[in-house]
Amino acid sequence: MDTIFLEQVKVQTKLGVPEWERMMPQTIILDIEIGYDLRKACKSDAIVDTIDYGAVVRRIHVTLNEHSFQLVEALAEHICQLILTEFGALSVKIKVAKPGILLGLKSLGIIIERIK
C-alpha cells in the first residue's frame, strides 16, 4: 500500500469538553496519512487515479466548520471515516494536536488509525 501524507494541516474548529471552550473556534493541527494504491496514478499521471489532496483539505475545513466536538478522539474518528468513505482510502492514520492548550505544554492530542 502507498501513502499520501498531509502534514501540519491547520484548521479552525470548536473543540473541548467545557462548553466555554467550544464557544470560540481554536486552531488544531492535523497530520494525516492516507493509504491508497497509487500504481494506476503513477502510470497515468492523472488526478482521477489518485485522491485529490486539495479536495481532502477543503472537505476537512468544511466539516470542522459545520461540527463541534468535545473530544479530540471523536474529531479524529469523524475525519477518518470521512476520508475512508468519501475518498475511497484504504486506510487513514491521523494525528490531532491542540497546541498551547495547557500551560507549559507545547501541544496535546491523539493518533488513531483506521483500515477499511
pLDDT by residue for the chain (116 residues), tens digit each?
899 999 999 999 999 888 888 888 999 999 999 999 999 999 999 999 999 999 999 999 999 999 999 999 999 999 999 999 999 999 999 999 999 777 788 888 999 999 99
Residues 50, 41 contacting (CB under 8 angstroms): yes
Which structural domain range is residue 62 located in?
2-115
Determine which one of 95, 98, 106, 116 is catalytic. 98
> Active site includes 10?
no
> Model pTM?
0.92
What is the domain-level CATH number for residue 39?
3.30.1130.10
- The total of structural domains in the chain comes to 1
- Sequence length of the chain is 116
- The candidate with the shortest Cα–Cα distance to 3, out of 72, 64, 94, 86, is 94
